[in-house]
Structure 1
Amino acid sequence: MARQLLEMGKEIKMLGIFDTYAGSSATGMEKVKEKIVRQLKKGPFIAKLFLDNPMQTLSYQLKISKRKLKPVFLKTKKLTKRFSPIKERFTKAMNLLIENIS
């Protein structure tokens, strides 16, 4: 781009580009599919981290999972009551897993 501007006789003091994520126009199931694919791509990275440092990785993943799931559980009291047993089982399972590794 700078070369093209110079060829046009323009003076360039600085050339900067802002690269931003514009998001997706997908809705409904297509949006869900995109989220799933995006999460699956993280799998190999998380697996490598787990192999290098299992305790720290599990602890971090549990913390992140709780943070991301909390708004879902708290949206309405109905959802909270409905998913509370699942949340409790998930937390117990993750805590047991962490205890057994250490």
Structure 2
Amino acid sequence: MLSRVADNLFWMGRYIERVEHLTRYLNVQYFSSIEVPYPQLRERALYSILDLVSQKWRESRPSEEEILVSVAFNERNPESILQLFIMVAKTHVVCATQFLRRYGKQ
């Protein structure tokens, strides 16, 4: 029983680490793209954000806003920040349910 709780806590931590890494990368790449004088380098910095989450853009040339919204808030993107927080919440519910089922009725 405790091993399942520990496993769920491990995955919650991994999802939170992933959110932290992704937000830090977004911050660095976005603000470094603003300071780039050449459009090609700016575009490369923005597309590296999409590469980080293994997302390919089907349409031609997404805007900065589309890239940032897709990586942060797209519900259909399994690696978006929003989806990672949803996974943390789901894992928390499973972990709490397992723990309370075992130890909550004492």
Shorter-chain TM-score bucket reads 0.3 to 0.5
Q: Which TM-score applies when normalising by structure 1?
A: 0.35
**Which has the higher Rg, Structure 1 or Structure 2?**
1
